[in-house]
Amino acid sequence: MTGFVSFVGSGPGDPELLTLKAVDRLKRADAVLFDDLSSGPILSYARPGADLVGVGKRAGRPSPKQGHVSQLLVDYALEGGRIVRLKSGDGGLFGRLEEELVALRAAGVAYEIVPGLPSAFAAAAAAGIPLTRRLTARRVQFVTGHDVTGELPRDLDLTALADPRACTVVYMGKRTFPALASMLIERGLPPETPALLAEAVSTPDQRLTRTTVGGLATALEGATSPLPALILYGPLAEETAV
């Protein structure tokens, strides 16, 4: 009998930020295929005896190909039982969710999607700032800092990303941000625009660096920190505007 797959968003890393549904699915799973950022204490909720399989991908490190991960998920599901595909943050936000959904549909495997707390929201909360500000930031935009080759995507909407009235969140962009910042400044984004570098959000290694777009671009030139990071820039505030 074909198994059932639960795509579970694990949030940014703090197990206390898991949803009740996420914990329930982990406790009942026969196998858990997890991302690197979903490992550690989060896996303590998996039931004893469950197969725990690491399939995470990290920039600059040997990682399984997406096709292999999708096939492995299908293989486990076809063996029967309950399978959890544990994804960091929310799987629908730069989590390669679609490729795995397509593979399951082609194999006739049923699934559900359990949303998780996006790391961008956790980063803003940790920094004590809102992602929107009345009158000055009515729009939030999310963008990936690299494409499948690891380079800055060539099809970015730079005009939108240079809008000083939007709060922009850059995922996986530490290495490419200096180049991106240069393009944005050329298109009119002031280099003194507030920026936040949020590393290892919600974990014991969390580091928050408040700076500017220009200052962050300079600081990240040649940076080699292995910590996962988000970059936020735009009309950020220390506290909510009144």
126-183 pLDDT, tens digit each: 999 999 988 888 899 999 998 877 889 999 999 999 999 999 999 999 999 999 999 9
Give me the catalytic one of 35, 87, 90, 174.
35
| 183 is known as an active-site residue | no
| 35 is known as an active-site residue | yes
Find all residues with CB under 8 Å of 48, minimum gap 6, and list them: none
What tens digit of pLDDT does each residue of 213-224 get? 999 999 999 877
Question: In residues, how long is the chain?
Answer: 242
Give me the catalytic one of 36, 57, 147, 183.
57
| 57 is known as an active-site residue | yes
Region for 40 from its dihedrals, namely left if φ exceeds 0, alpha if ψ lies in -120 to 50, beta otherwise: left
What tens digit of pLDDT does each residue of 184-198 get? 999 999 999 999 999
Residue 201 has pLDDT above 70, yes or no: yes
pLDDT above 90 coverage of the chain, percent: 81
Domains of the chain: 4-114 (3.40.1010.10), 119-233 (3.30.950.10)
